[in-house]
């Protein structure tokens, strides 16, 4: 039977809409003011919180995966936190004596480890339920089906989705390298010789081996998981439930541990840089062209194996890459942030024509969107395919722009949304990023070609009623 609109009780009429001045997003308003209870949602890709559970023997790269995955999810705007049970154990047991603590027949050790896991899960509940987190990464061995069932019950009680990430590795060279790279620097082995630490850790692994129950295609067929074998030689993926889990799988299938370096630099100094104007598509100054030649010599001296060079599709980065005398690939995704109506304007002109916009940007530079343009938040989303491809590649030089370089740098250095827009990326300077253990080593190399400073610090006064002089206090000198 069909019903007409007249049969249904009428709800309140649709609310009027107004545009949020900071992010340029349409939202309901009442009596000329935005509705107070409309939450400004962060990027949300799952309708309920997700608990990622690591699985695997010690020295299989679980913490490496946990930290990298947490960094990636936070960078794309999904609030994520890692909970390392080993850290809880170290806080509980101040002095680590030897592998005996991990023996399966050590009742006191088992009791302490179980309590540490429960404390960590309580903190997970606090983070996902009270602090507004969307994803928690539970980093522990979780090698028995009993322990995983306990976690599943905890997740069901709290209405979390669960996704297991198991790392399986039988390659003795990879395991030995992991122990040397990571475990020897652990607080557990601060007063040990290298040889003593390796011997003890190998015995610690033995304590887990007999009771280890890997995720099983038949017994665990109802679970959602990815099994990573021999650091990415092979994968097994089962029952991916939602968008966030599919992104996690895609990310984990793209990362690798091959030693390499990523080189980031901006284009050479441009005509608009010298004039203090933002955006545009101008060419290089004489100094900018000199930098391109110096960059070419620098890259040649580095003697980098199979180096790939990427640029944006803007004139100034392509001119810079032309100085290298090597093939390069252009990415539209690497184009500078779109300043919309403010393109090719100086900061003084923006303050003069759009003082409200200038103040709003200073209040929240990451989320502020230029009228008819982009925000740093938009730029991060645009750059995700670049990050994914950078993770797949080995040695790469990216010739890009200030805002773009800030976003890429924030990913590799695990910087927050508040820090990202103020990262210093000076002209004519190459940043060499080399992945190490759980982070990145950064070397800054200035190529001895002078250039204007384009970095503007956040001014103290960000109020919309501030004076022009206060707004322009941190503008760098220009023509």
Give the residue numbers annotated as catalytic, written as ranges: 139, 169, 267, 336
CA gyration radius, the chain: 26
Whole-angstrom CA distances from 424 to 3, 294, 387, 407, 460 are 62, 21, 20, 11, 18
Helix (H, G, I), strand (E, B) or coil at 355: helix
36 phi, psi to nearest 5 deg: -65, -35
Q: Are 392 and 372 in contact (CB under 8 A)?
A: no
Both tokens of residue 412? 């590799």
Whole-angstrom CA distances from 223 to 53, 238, 239 are 11, 7, 7
| H runs (alpha helix) in 131-171 | 145-158
Give me the residue label for tokens 């939202």.
27
- Give the CB-side neighbour count of residue 345, counting CA atoms within 13 A: 16
- Dihedral sign computed on CA atoms, order 34, 39, 44, 48: negative
Q: Are 279 and 343 in contact (CB under 8 A)?
A: yes
Whole-angstrom CA distances from 180 to 101, 187, 229, 434 are 21, 14, 20, 18
């Amino acid at each position: 039977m069909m019903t007409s609109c007249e049969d249904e009780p009428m709800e309140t009429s649709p609310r009027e809409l107004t545009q949020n001045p900071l992010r340029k997003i349409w939202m309901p308003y009442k009596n000329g003011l935005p509705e107070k209870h409309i939450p400004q949602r962060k990027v949300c890709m799952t309708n309920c919180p997700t608990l990622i559970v690591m699985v695997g023997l010690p020295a299989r790269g679980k913490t490496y995966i946990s930290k990298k995955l947490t960094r990636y999810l936070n960078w794309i705007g999904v609030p994520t936190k890692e909970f390392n049970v080993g850290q809880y154990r170290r806080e509980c047991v101040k002095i680590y004596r030897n592998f005996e603590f991990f023996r399966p027949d050590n009742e006191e050790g088992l009791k302490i480890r179980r309590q540490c896991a429960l404390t960590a899960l309580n903190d997970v509940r606090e983070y996902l339920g009270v602090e507004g987190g969307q994803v928690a990464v539970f980093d522990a061995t979780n090698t028995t089906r009993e322990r995983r069932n306990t976690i599943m019950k905890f997740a069901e009680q709290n209405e979390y989705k669960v996704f297991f990430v198991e790392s399986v590795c039988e390659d003795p060279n990879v395991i030995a390298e992991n122990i040397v790279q990571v475990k020897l620097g652990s607080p557990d082995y601060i007063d040990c010789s290298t040889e003593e630490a390796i011997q003890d850790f190998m015995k610690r692994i033995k304590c887990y081996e007999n009771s280890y129950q890997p995720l099983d295609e038949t017994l665990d067929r109802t679970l959602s998981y990815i099994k990573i074998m021999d650091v990415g030689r092979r994968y097994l993926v089962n029952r991916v439930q939602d968008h966030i889990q599919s992104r996690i799988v895609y990310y984990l299938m793209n990362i690798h541990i091959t030693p390499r370096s990523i080189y980031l630099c901006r284009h050479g100094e441009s005509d608009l840089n010298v004039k203090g104007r933002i955006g545009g598509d101008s060419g290089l100054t004489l100094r900018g062209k000199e930098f391109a030649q110096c960059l070419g010599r620098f890259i040649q001296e580095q003697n980098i194996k199979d180096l790939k060079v990427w640029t944006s599709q803007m004139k100034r980065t392509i001119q810079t890459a032309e100085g290298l005398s090597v093939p390069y690939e252009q990415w539209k995704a690497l184009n500078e942030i779109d300043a919309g109506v403010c393109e090719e304007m100086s900061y003084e002109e923006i303050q003069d024509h759009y003082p409200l916009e200038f103040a709003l940007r200073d209040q929240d530079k990451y989320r502020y969107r230029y009228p008819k343009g982009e925000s740093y938040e938009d730029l991060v989303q645009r750059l995700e395919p670049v990050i994914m491809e950078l993770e797949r590649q080995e040695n790469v030089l990216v010739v890009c722009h200030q805002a773009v370089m800030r976003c890429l740098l924030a990913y590799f250095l695990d910087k927050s949304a508040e820090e990202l827009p103020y990262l210093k990326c000076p002209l004519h300077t190459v940043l060499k990023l080399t992945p190490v253990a759980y982070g990145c080593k950064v070397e800054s190399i200035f190529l001895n070609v002078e250039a204007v400073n384009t970095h503007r610090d956040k001014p103290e006064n960000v109020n919309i009623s501030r004076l022009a002089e206060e707004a322009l206090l941190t503008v760098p000198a220009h023509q």
